[in-house]
Amino acid sequence: MTLRDVDVAVIGSGPAGMAAAIKAKETGAENVVIMERAEQLGGLLHQCIHNGFGLLYFKEDLTGPEYAHRFVEKVMDSGVRPLLQTMVVGISPHRDVTAVSSQEGYITFRAKSIVLAMGCRERTRGALNIPGGRPAGIFTAGTAQRLVNVEGFVPGKKVVILGSGDVGMIMARRLTLEGAKVEAVVEILPYVGGLIRNEVQCLHDFNIPLLLEHTVSRIHGEKRVEAVTVARVDKDKNPIAGTGRQIECDTLLLSVGLIPENELSLMAGVELAPITGGPVVDEGRQTSVPGIFAGGNVVHVHDLVDNVSWESELAGQSAAEFIIGGKRAAGRRVNLKPGRNIRYIVPHTVSGEKEVSLYMRVNEPEEDVRLKVGSIMTKTVRAVKPGEMLKLELSQAQLSKLKEGTAEIVVDCEERGDR
């Protein structure tokens, strides 16, 4: 078995992995490698051929492949070593990374620090228990996206999409442009799951019906999907008897949520947070295992790639500093606790020693609210939605208001009484 020493091992070469590796190198780590199981760098960006990427990071409206290209060029210029067709199969708590590579076979890297950048995967039909047979024609939205945009196959002619997340809505438009008829987008919640711009530009633009508070209660067909039954749901999201109607279709796409991909993290003994499904991280994106860092959708599912890049740069920088500065003394750790109408906050802890951006999501849509970070900061916001991630920047000055011995800050999304 081959053994090799590296400084920083980055696992995954999507937007998170590339940003982390570049930043680790810039910060001063010498031997930085990216391990990627596919044949090229870029991860999922290659199949996301639509625009809307980079509006914040580059101040330009790029497509997924264009966004990837910018970072691939930087990786190549930076001296980071990409290892393609290299699939990581194990990580130990002592930072031994085991991989299988088409070039070198079975290989173990002894890493001084690791950045986890494996991204996320889609929830499938198995997570939903929709009654019916097992006909062909049921795809996750992301799989359909790869078929249509990369492989060159349109999976069906009459399509129903379950779930109004961004990928589902983007596929509704994409399939319509390719000549398929999207009969409906069905959403169990009373509001759209994805961004407002996608609701308008993917659904309204093409008159695609959006059925809120509805779900697919049965799949019909034996060899191939022939129809689905769509029914209204009650407050507990259960189908209401008597409200079902059949929609004829040959394809059902599922856009019903994404799950951070953390099998490798668990092998390394990294603690996961129950709500996000990703590692518990501090402000430098260090996980519960010293020397193992994480960034991007492996930590929590983002809606904008720009934030994935920024977050992963933090992880890459910390991974390099871990090596250069030696192990950091365990400084102060203040827990951030989700309060009223806050679903989660990343990072999970802050040191209070330097400025930090808080990424968070709310549980329910609300208007006229005040975001309150303990007693150190408030910000009024006109509207919040679970599908749109919130970013709050805490300055050094605000953090210096933290009292000695503070163990926890509660972050609330409060109603504003003054409007």
Partner 1 sequence: MAEVNIICIGCPLGCTATLTIGDGGEVAAITGCECKAGEKYVVEEYKNPVRVLTATVVTQGSPQPLLPVRTAVPIPKAKLLPGMKVLAKTRVKPPVKIGDVVIPNLLDTGIDVASTSDLAI
Residues that bind partner 1 (CB under 8 A): 46, 49-51, 61, 63, 65-66, 69, 148-152, 177-179, 196-197, 199-201, 204-205, 367, 382-385, 387-388
* Nearer to partner 1 among residue 289 and residue 362 (C-beta): 362
Residue 292: is it exposed, middle or buried by C-beta count within 10 angstroms (0-12/13-18/19+)? Answer: buried
Task: Record the tokens describing residue 39, joined without a space.
Answer: 């044949």
Contact call for residues 297 and 16 (beta carbons, < 8 A): yes
Task: Record the tokens describing residue 290, joined without a space.
Answer: 């010293």
* Nearer to partner 1 among residue 205 and residue 353 (C-beta): 205
| Least Cβ distance, residue 383 to partner 1 (angstroms) | 4
| CA angle in degrees (0–180, nearest 5) for 99-35-262 | 75
* Nearer to partner 1 among residue 26 and residue 388 (C-beta): 388
Helix (H) or strand (E) holding 26: helix 15-27
* Nearer to partner 1 among residue 157 and residue 401 (C-beta): 157
| Least Cβ distance, residue 50 to partner 1 (angstroms) | 5
DSSP 62-104: EEHHHHHHHHHHHHHHHT-EEE-SEEEEEE-TT-EEEEEETTT
* Nearer to partner 1 among residue 37 and residue 385 (C-beta): 385
| Least Cβ distance, residue 325 to partner 1 (angstroms) | 38
| Least Cβ distance, residue 198 to partner 1 (angstroms) | 9
| Least Cβ distance, residue 419 to partner 1 (angstroms) | 12
Q: Between the CA of residue 64 and those of 47, 48, 53, 373, 406, what are the distances in Å?
A: 7, 5, 6, 34, 42
Q: Between the CA of residue 363 and those of 7, 216, 345, 386, 404, what are the distances in Å?
A: 40, 23, 12, 6, 31
* Nearer to partner 1 among residue 177 and residue 324 (C-beta): 177
| Least Cβ distance, residue 47 to partner 1 (angstroms) | 9
